[in-house]
Homo-oligomer: A and B are copies of this chain.
Amino acid sequence: MAKKKKIIPKFSRSKSKLGKAPGHISYVGSRDKVPSHLQLITYNENDFQQREVPYIKLPIKNELETSMLNVVGISDEDAINSIGIHYNLNNLLLEDVMDTLQRPKVDEYEEHLFGVFKMLYLDTTKQIKIEHVSLILLDKQVLIFQETDDDVFNGVRERIINKYGRIRSRGADYLFFALLDAIVDNYYVALDDVREELESLEEEVYENPTKDTARKIQTLKKEILRIRKWVFPVKEIVNRLLTTEHQLIQEDTKLFLRDTFDHCTEINEDIVLYREMVTSLMEMYMTNMSNKMNEVMKVLTVIASIFIPLTFIAGIYGMNFTNMPELNSPYGYPLVWASFFIIGLGLLIYFKKKGWL
């Protein structure tokens, strides 16, 4: 059985939000509510610190140059609200932070830059997981809101810890872009998974298509549509960041985003390509199925077409007419056998020539 993937989660925004004012803060998602906890990394060119902080101690003083604050768990309305107050964040913004159905977007506020994205990564069972993540760029700080401890930012953390590359010597805007770049890089992982599934299904369609194959193809198509839904808008967002004149972003930092933009372009092209290939695959499946049917019909036709006439001949000499001279002729029976062979052979040759054998 093909695994079932829901393109749309079971919970629905309409139930959570209907009749509420815009800016109403409440969690929209499929998880149980858990308290949020906060992980802080602060660093400058020479030093860095990493620790858990309770949210009631906010705002954190920036002992070092730049800090990155992971808020893990977005269903805790009190925590989110209190963080919002500490950092002076708009309620509309907080609403999006807690709404796991929110489409990727970037909003520019005077004091901060707010982005909503989806992280895609393979979980331990090699299924693609899609997680809601919000990034907020403040002066010398980046806030990250995420649902669970799993994220795609370990590479960034290691670069900070190990002082690899430019990250320690550059500001919060570079960090913001590095996180975004990490999110986009992980889209390749999901696409590679899709590509592998595509290739294995292609093999299956050509070598051993079954009734279940069609369902698997449709499931993959829905998976691609699901990825497209969350990944497609990111290109436009990165493009907007490339041209923004927000005060928190320095002109020369944008250079590093050009690369991310290239990747988005490529990812979107690949998604379109995979979509086309899945359609081709379904077409191919149907062609193969129809070819198989053809083969079934040919076997039936060949066998029926040969034996039905022969049975008729046998039927003739099974008739009980008193006056059938052939029956008493000594050549009668051998001649009938001869006619069986001649007719049978003739039809076989005919079908052979038709290419049905």
Integer count of this chain's copies in the complex: 5
Q: Is A273 an interface residue (CB 8 A)?
A: yes
Which residues of A313-342 are within 8 A (CB) of B? 314-324, 326-330, 332-333, 336, 340
CB distance from A187 to the nearest CB of B (A): 9
A1-58 interface (Cβ within 8 A of B): 6-8, 12-15, 17-24
Let me know if A14 and B185 touch, CB within 8 A: yes
Of the listed stretches A59-67, A70-78, A127-135, A297-305, chain B binds A297-305
Alpha-carbon separation in the docked complex, A312 to B167 (Å)? 85
Question: Is A321 in contact with B327, judged by CB distance below 8 angstroms?
Answer: yes
A127 CB, min distance to chain B CBs, angstroms: 16
Among A79-87, A142-150, A240-248, A285-293, the stretch that binds chain B is A285-293
Cα–Cα, bound, A139→B322 (Å): 108
Q: Contact residues of A with B, CB < 8 Å?
A: 6-8, 12-15, 17-24, 92, 95, 101-103, 105, 107, 154-156, 158-159, 164-167, 178, 181-182, 185-186, 188-189, 191-192, 195, 199, 206, 211, 214-215, 218, 221-222, 225, 229, 255-256, 258-260, 262, 265-266, 269, 273, 276-277, 280, 282-294, 296-301, 303-305, 307-312, 314-324, 326-330, 332-333, 336, 340, 354, 356
Q: Are B312 and A320 in contact (CB under 8 A)?
A: no
**Given known A103-B262, A167-B21, A315-B315, contact A286–B296 (CB-CB < 8 A):** no
